[in-house]
Amino acid sequence: MTTLAQHLNRNLAAAQPSATYVIIDRVAQRRAQGAKIISLCAGEPDFDTPAHIRQAAKDAIDQGHTRYTQVAGSRALREAVAAKFRRENGLRVDWQDTLVCSGGKQVIYNALAATLNEGDEVIVPAPYWVSYPEMVQLSGAHSVIVTCEVSSGFKLTPAALAAAITPRTRWLIINSPSNPTGAVYSYHELRALADVLLQHPHVLVLADDIYEHLIFDDQPFYTLAQVEPRLAERTLTMNGVSKAYAMTGWRIGFATGPRWLLAAMEKLQGQQTSGACSISQQAAIAALQGSKDFIVHSREVFQRRRDLMVDLLNAIPGLHCETPAGAFYAFANCQGLIGKTSATGRLLATDEDVALALLEENDVAVVHGSAFGLGGHVRIAYALDDASLIQACESIKQFSQGTR
């Protein structure tokens, strides 16, 4: 006899919980028990939301922005989002071509859930953000994982894309700068992918641009629909305020794309969460329309931290990492530790064992690379102050030196 608890939705039952949140929760538990953990696991800026944005939220409450907005977002925010896409990305967007969701995650989930059926395929280049394949799974479709090796800069090549497309392909997901590798696609790399996509008009593209403003060394940012405007009619370009304006908790994501797709996503959202938080929407308007000083400052800080981390990590025996071009993650190869035992005698058979032992024994939290589709690595988020990062690397070094 099956129990009530076994009667879950079968797509949900087959999905994994979010790997990032599993570790974030584990850190919270250990901290509640009194442990002093340095957490390099959560992908969120450590800065406070800028003061003018916080003030806009306080004003919003006082001015009565406390009721439902339209499901697709307030007209004022959608105008600001459209202006952002025109100004920063060169996309031809009116406010009706936008949708606001409760975080970037909801944009992606809505898009996949609104369009996928059983048997459909989604091309997910690996390493990938942990939630893409699970969201595909929740929609009953199938992820076609294309492993992108370090030799291609962890980026999808046109040949690999062409080989992965089948008549059942519904979506390709491109995330630049990438979580977890920090890889950034250049204009020419996107151009070459666009040439392949132009030959396959049945494929939709999800451009996850959430780390747009975190690109280092003065490299420019490009998004696919900008590089090839003919793809705009089948590209969902998504972004949000979380990473650019240190607003992860405010939960505002947005997108532009073909109106039929936005309408389907809005229909789904209207039966689910309705419009995003009205106060957060007012704050997001202030973010998009206000000073960009914060973006410039945080980019400089993250670039400096990146350089610090790459140097420190590469000095640790058993670890090696490339220099990421963007985001705030180092994706370090930890194969030098695999097969060894930790100081307390744990066998480090996998990257997950490495991450777990590092947390349990040396109080540093990172996320194992296999959660991102590439084992033998760990993702290290360097969204912390320099002193904590230096201390974390010292602990990782001690951990590594204690292995046998």
| Cα–Cα distance measured from residue 35 to residue 44, given in angstroms and rounded to the nearest whole number | 21
Distance from C-alpha of 109 to C-alpha of 239, rounded to nearest angstrom: 13
Name the minimum Å distance from CB 150 to ligand GLU.
20
Q: Which residues 103-162 are close enough to bind ligand GLU by CB under 6 A? A: 105, 129-131
Does residue 42 bind ligand GLU (CB under 6 A)?
yes
Nearest distance from C-beta of residue 132 to ligand GLU, angstroms: 10
Write the burial class of residue 313 (CB in 10 Å: 0-12 exposed, 13-18 middle, 19+ buried). Answer: buried
Min. distance of Cβ 86 from ligand GLU in angstroms? Answer: 26
Task: For ligand GLU, give the closer residue by CB, 112 or 130.
Answer: 130
Nearer to ligand GLU, 43 or 257 (CB): 43
- Residue 228: how many other CB atoms lie within 10 Å: 17
Say how many C-beta atoms besides its own lie within 10 A of residue 320's C-beta. Answer: 15
- The reply to whether 235 sits near ligand GLU by the rule CB under 6 A is no
For the bound state, the minimum distance from the C-beta of residue 218 to ligand GLU, rounded and expressed in Å, comes to: 25
- Kindly state the smallest distance separating residue 381's Cβ from ligand GLU, in Å: 6
Tell the residue number behind the tokens 């395929």, with chain if given.
121
What are the start-end ranges of the H helices in 39-103? 51-62, 75-89
Q: Are 264 and 38 in contact (CB under 8 A)?
A: no
In the complex, the smallest distance separating the C-beta of residue 398 from ligand GLU, rounded to whole angstroms, is 25
Strands (E), 133-194: 142-147, 169-175
Backbone angles phi, psi at 38, to 5 degrees: -95, 115
How far apart are the C-alpha atoms of 377 and 354, rounded to whole Å? Answer: 9
> Could you tell me the smallest distance in angstroms from the CB atom of residue 24 to ligand GLU?
7
The residue among 171 and 329 lying less far from ligand GLU, judged by its C-beta, is: 329
Residue 105's nearest CA partner among 190, 179, 38, 155 is 179
20 binds ligand GLU (CB under 6 A): yes
Could you tell me the smallest distance in angstroms from the CB atom of residue 40 to ligand GLU? 10
Task: Enumerate residues 339-368 that contact ligand GLU by CB under 6 A.
Answer: none
| Binding residue for ligand GLU, selected from 40, 43, 77, 327, defined by CB under 6 A | 43
CB-nearer residue toward ligand GLU: 17 or 339: 17
Question: Does the footprint of ligand GLU cover residue 388 (CB under 6 A)?
Answer: no
Closer by beta carbon to ligand GLU, 18 or else 186: 18
Smaller CB distance to ligand GLU: residue 129 or 250? 129
* 167-186 binders of ligand GLU (CB under 6 A): 179
What φ, ψ does residue 347 adopt, rounded to 5°? -80, 130
Name which of 73 and 104 has its Cβ closer to ligand GLU.
Answer: 104
Q: Which residue is nearest to ligand GLU (CB)?
A: 43
* Strands lying side by side in the sheet with 98-101: 98-101, 253-256, 235-240, 204-208, 169-175, 121-126, 142-147
Where along the sequence are the contacts to ligand GLU (CB under 6 A)? Answer: 18, 20, 42-43, 105, 129-131, 179
